[in-house]
Amino acid sequence: MTVIYTDGACSGNPGPGGWAWAAVDGDFESGAAERTTNQRMELSAVLEALRANPEGRVEIVSDSTYVVNCFRDRWWVGWLRRGWVNSKNQPVANRDLWEPLIALVQARPVGEVTFRWVKGHGGDPMNDFVDALAVEAGRNGVGRRGRTPSPGAAPPFVSNSR
């Protein structure tokens, strides 16, 4: 199973933002958007992670309850049944990102993509790594790709300072 950490960050809400994903013992990628929200960056991180890892079992690890609860609690099933309105009868926010993300998950065998929540800023080295990458991308307006460092080995190009 491939374990992939994801995160999104935004300076202001809306404002410039960044997203990042990193596979344990694999690759990482980050990207940026000029005017966005934190939720959109969280979704973008997962969407890009699944696009880059289209096969095999994947566990997405995220500090976003918005993302994790949608799949763990199957909110998306109700959204589809109700025609893309939520339980409060309001249009689902960020539908333009949810639709392709849900389609990617549905296209794979049941159980091939799982989601796990991790506490943000809780000392998990991989969560700290993707957080720093997302913040960096948002700050610089550009992302990067590379090889994920060993857990605990903070690469010199990433700063956790906000």
Which residues constitute the domain of residue 46? 2-141
159 is a domain residue? no
CATH number for the domain including 20?
Answer: 3.30.420.10
Query: Using omega within 30 degrees of 0 as the cis cutoff, is the peptide bond preceding 100 cis?
Result: no
Tokens standing for residue 60: 């997405």
State pTM to two decimals.
0.91
**pLDDT at res. 150:** 79
Residue 42 domain flag: yes
Residue 9 corresponds to which tokens in the numbers above?
Answer: 């960050």
**Burial class of residue 87, CB neighbours in 10 A (0-12, 13-18, 19+):** exposed
User: Per the structure, how many domains does the chain have?
Assistant: 1
CA distances from 47 to 29, 30, 51 (A): 12, 12, 6
User: Residue 106: its pLDDT value, please?
Assistant: 95
Q: Is residue 153 part of a domain?
A: no
Q: List per-residue pLDDT tens for the chain, 162 residues long.
A: 999 999 999 999 899 999 999 999 999 999 999 999 999 999 999 999 999 999 999 999 999 999 999 999 999 999 999 999 999 999 999 999 999 999 999 999 999 999 999 999 888 999 999 999 999 999 999 999 999 987 656 554 454 444
